[in-house]
Amino acid sequence: MLNWLLQKENKITYKNTTYSIDQFDSSLLERIIKSRFASEGTFAIEQLTNEGESHLTLTTPSLEKFDFQTTDRSVEEYILEGKIYQLSLSKHYYLPLFTGVTVDILNVLEETQCDTFTQILITKSSNWREEAIVRYENYLNGIDSPIGVKVLDKIQSKLVGALGKISNTEFKRQQFEEIEQKILQNGYQMEIRIVLLDGSETELERFITNKLSKTDMFNSLELVTAEESISKHIQDMTFQPTMKQIFSEQEVCSILSNVESITVPVETMKLNESPVSANTNELLNRAIDFLPSYPRKEEKITEDTIVSLQSAFKRVKITDTDIKILSSFQGATLNRFQIEIPENVNYSNIQKNLTNLQAAMGDESVSIEIGDQPNTFNLYMPRINRDIIWLKDILQSDVFKNHLSKSELPIILGEKTSGEIELACLADLKHLLIAGATGSGKSVFLNILIIVLLLSVDPELLNVILIDPKQVEFEQYKDFPQVSNVITDPEEAVSMVESLCVEMEMRYKEFTRLKVKNIQQYNRKSNVKMPYIVTVIDEYADLMMQNKDVEDHVVRLSQKSRAAGIHVVLATQKPLSTIVTSVLKSNLPSAISFRLKTSSDYKTVFGGGVPFNLLGKGDGVAKLEGQIKEFERFQSPVITLDENEEELIYGNLLEHFKDAKKQVPVDIVEEEKPIEKLKKIIANTGETKLGVLREQMKIRMNDVTDLIKELVEEGWLEKQGKGYVVVAEENELSKWRDH
């Protein structure tokens, strides 16, 4: 048995791996809580702050692999000799905290300037929701503190009912959206332990309690002295059996991150409420009228094809008898045969012989996959004469109309190999990576994606930014009112992506002012609607080659812009590992690929090979968040095959939007550099205390320390004792002051 697999009390556990990390940020937290193995073991973040320096480690189940340097974990005896605290919910875990603020507990502990050791344990919980629902129902019935034991809760309920009759009072409460949102989210068991090694107990308790008070709502977090047995749990990185605390995703993010919401759940649509306005529906119906469509071509599956198929399986010695074909389906690109796996044959044997099957049938594009019925597999053969999927047919289908009623940013992929229409919502996918070599159908797909958004979303709520370094793809959209920017200059393109980061931060400030968490809530609450921003970047490789800084901005957007209604569609012909880097790919979990030149290109896009030989001309494969199958193959639609007709169609579309108000372009601004921001703060306030500067800068203490060192080297500051004083000349300070 593998040495990392241990058997204990009939439960499989996994050996831990410990990594040394430079910082604990929102992207790392998101990876932890979204890990496939979040419920298979415990993730631990440990921080030792000593004499102004912090050392961080991350311990994970060995199933989850990170690209950090591994290290040995040890908790020295002196660490466990300090006073130990832990954060504790004051009420039962079904009652939520306020998540509209961030605590960022690790940085809070750095700010105290006390020497501390902090341990945070997280694991996904799967057996908490039923109890939470029962307690919530009792709470709505007027029981302030449900016990959670059925018999006792019934007694409480009867007492409340009796008191209500006596006093003629209704004790029932209204439903609370905040409580229901917590119960509907994923739940995580989390414990936070803090060991004070050196410093004032009173100062530490006062400082942390003040920070935690910002999260008070139905529930609150308290800093309490831990039980004596906690030392053993810290040493072993185990949860206390007597202290089960469940936090929602938003609560975990609020407590641990400096980002208000890493993952905001899509809110349930209210009855009769649709993201599609009546005007948009009318526009879509008018557009459908002048889009072309032609009858589908039928191509009979001949007896020769069946004979060839039967012969091939015998030829490569998979089976000696005729295979049993249960059904067949003719798609636009492929013929699909559902075949019963022959007796005494494993699917893996068929899979291993795929190349031999292709050779026997004289077609390297033949592919197979596991069937959707027991003991079956699907075999795909390209059609001799491929058919066309017309955009008009999909737009006027009931499937799309139903999808449109539930999607903020609907997109169409095309027809699946089963004949069903493949649809998605960009607002749910967050962002999208699209790859495809010349002639693969990538450019046609990008145009379909843009056209569908223009036709499906109210022009008031859609701002499209198109970036095309090759200057050939998006020129036809420049006069559309929803399209605020068409950028072809690479340097301007990089500045635009940087400006979107600034726009994102401005939107989050506006959300805070209105006390909402995402663009959907904002648009319901505000009289002035905030448009979604969809940025389509074609030939991303060209941008990367000209300015590698663009990756930092794209990654930052991909990490936290979804709630702000900013979405990025990234397309490239060259999915090299130096272009689609591991950092970028980890933040773009949804990807679509059309035909690529090499198998390594597919591995770069998807993290592994695909089980198909794509045929080009719109034959694509998708790997999307929330998709049931790992890979979904589809044939993308076209608007028309006639370039002259296409020009006429765009002209007609533009005419339909003539009364729509033009979207205001996103201002291209350079984001203020951290050192510049720090100079402004010091010049205007004279403040030099690290804790105060960190609070105003909203960055890690280590980063503030590095910036302070830069200012010392520049002659701005001078270290005196344990602090710093401003020594820059008055004329230098005046440059940075607000006038």
**For tokens 């499209």, what's the residue?**
464
Cα–Cα distance, 516 to 452 (Å, whole number): 29
- CB atoms under 10 Å from CB of 143, counted, come to 18
Q: What is the pLDDT of residue 85?
A: 95
Burial of 194 (0-12, 13-18, 19+ CB in 10 A): buried
In sequence order, what DSSP letters do the residues of 52-114 get, joined into one string? TEEEEEEEEETTS--SSEE------TTGGGSEEEEEEESS-TTSPPP-SS---HHHHHHHTTS
pTM tops 0.85? no
Label residue 264 by pLDDT band (50, 70, 90). Answer: very low
pLDDT at 10 over 60: no
Axis-axis angle for helices 674-685, 690-697 (nearest 10) = 120
Give the DSSP letter of residue 460: G
N residues, the chain? 739
| Pick from 265, 415, 255: nearest CA to 336 | 415
Q: How confident is residue 449, by pLDDT bands cut at 50, 70 and 90? A: very high
pLDDT in tens, 635-646: 999 999 888 888
474 Cβ contact list (under 8 Å, min separation 6): 450, 466, 468, 486, 536, 538
pLDDT for 652: 85
Measured distance CA(275)–CA(273) in Å, rounded? 7
195 has pLDDT over 90 = yes
**Selected residue with higher pLDDT from 119 and 272:** 119
| 674-736 and 278-294+388-601+614-656 share a CATH fold | no
Q: pLDDT tens-digit profile of 53-105?
A: 889 999 998 878 888 889 988 888 788 888 999 999 999 999 999 988 889 99
Residues facing residue 433 across a β-bridge = 570, 591
Q: Which residues pair with 19 in a beta bridge?
A: 58, 70
> Across the chain, what does the average pLDDT equal?
84
Question: Which CATH number does 674-736 carry?
Answer: 1.10.10.10
Question: Considering only 324-328, 350-354, 629-633, 657-661, which range has the smallest mean pLDDT?
Answer: 657-661
| pLDDT value of residue 158 | 53
Residue 643 has phi, psi (to 5 degrees) of: -65, -35
Which of 5-19, 324-338, 368-382, 448-462 shows the lowest per-residue confidence on average (mean pLDDT)? 5-19
Give the other-Cβ count within 10 Å of 287's Cβ. Answer: 20
CA distances from 622 to 108, 313, 730 (A): 42, 29, 60
Separation between Cα atoms, residue 736 and residue 463, nearest integer Å: 34
CA distances from 471 to 1, 198, 254, 465 (A): 58, 62, 43, 14
Write down the pLDDT at residue 320.
86
Name the DSSP letter for residue 292.
-
> Which pLDDT band, with edges at 50, 70 and 90, does 462 fall under?
very high
Q: What is the pLDDT of residues 506-559, one digit of tens each?
A: 999 999 888 888 999 999 888 888 999 999 999 888 888 877 778 888 888 888
Give the single-character DSSP code of 275.
S
DSSP 658: T
Residue 117 has a pLDDT of: 94
CA separation for the pair 309, 313 (Å, rounded): 7
pLDDT higher than 80, residue 490: yes
Q: End-to-end CA distance of the chain: give it in Å, rounded.
A: 71
Task: Report DSSP letters for 203-243, one per residue.
Answer: HHHHHHHHHHGGG-SSS-EEEEEPPTTHHHHHHHT---TT-
Boundaries of every domain in the chain:
13-256, 278-294+388-601+614-656, 303-382, 674-736
- For 303-382, the fitting CATH number among 3.40.50.150, 3.30.160.270, 2.40.110.10, 3.30.980.40 is 3.30.980.40
Q: Which CATH architecture has domain 278-294+388-601+614-656?
A: 3-Layer(aba) Sandwich (3.40)
- What confidence score (pLDDT) does residue 74 get? 80
pLDDT of 118 reads 95
